[in-house]
Structure 1
Amino acid sequence: MTSATAWPSQAETWLDEKGKGAWIAAMVLGFIFFWPVGLALLAYMIWSKRMFKSKSRGGCRAHSHRHSHGFSSTGNSAFDAYKADTLSRLEEEQVNFESFLERLREAKDKSEFDTFMDERAKKAQSPKNTDKDAPIEL
C-alpha cells in the first residue's frame, strides 16, 4: 500500500482509537471548512455504523446481572429483595388502579347512557304540540 492510499486507513484507525467524539469533531470540522467533507464523513459514520457503536463492550455481562425489573444488582441482597418487593407491589397497585379507572369509566358511560334513555323516554311520552295540529283561525 502506498502512503497516498494508506492515510485514510491510518486516519480511520486513529479516530477509532480516540472514540466517537473524535469522529464527531472531524465531521464538524469538515462541515466548517468544506461542507462536502463533513457530509461525506457523516454518511461514512452512518454507513459503517460508527455513530451507533458504544465504547464499552461489557453490555452482555452487565445484562446478565439484572433482575426481572431491569435494574442491576447493588450487591446488597437485603436491599435488592426490598427493591424487588417494592417494585412488584407498585406494579400490582398500578394494575389495581387501572382496573378501578376502567370500572369508573364504565360506570360513567352507563350513567350517561341511562340519562340519555330517560330523556328520550320523557320526550316520547310528552304530548306533541306542533303548529300543524293547531286549528286555523280566520
Structure 2
Amino acid sequence: MTTATLHAAPAHRGSWLSRSEQWLDDRGKGAWIAAMVLGFIFFWPIGLALLAYMIWSKRLFNGNCARRTRHAHVAFKSSGNTAFDSYKSETLRRLQEEQDHFEQFLGRLRDAKDKAEFDQFMAERDKRKDDKDAEPVDA
C-alpha cells in the first residue's frame, strides 16, 4: 500500500446536493428558511427553487425534518439478531415511557406555575382593591 492510498480523500456518500440537504436537515427548519432567504438575496431563482423544494418536500409546513423520519426508520429496523432486537425494542419502549412521564411532569410543573402566577395576580388585585377602599375620601 502506498502513502497516496493511505491519504486519499474519504469517499463522500451521494452528491453535493444530497450532502447539502442532509446538512440543512441536521440543523432544522430554521436553516432551510435561512438558506431560502439568502438564495432570494443573492440570486432570486435559487431562493424560488428552494421555496418550491421546501413546499414539495413538506419541509416548510412540517415541524419535523426528514432526518427524524430517517432515524425512526433506522431505530425500528431489524438487525437480524433476535436477542439484540428484543433488547433494543425493550429499551426504546422504556425510553418512550420515561419521555411520556417527563412530559407529564413538565405539564404539571407548568400548571403549578400558572396557578401560582394567577394566585399572585388575584392577591395583588385584591390588595389594590382593599387599598382603594381604605383611602380617605376628601369631601
TM value normalised by structure 1: 0.43
Structure with the bigger percentage of helix: 2
Query: Bigger relative contact order, structure 1 or 2, given CA contacts below 8 A and separation 6+?
Result: 2
TM value normalised by structure 2: 0.43
Structure exhibiting the larger radius of gyration computed from Cα positions: 1
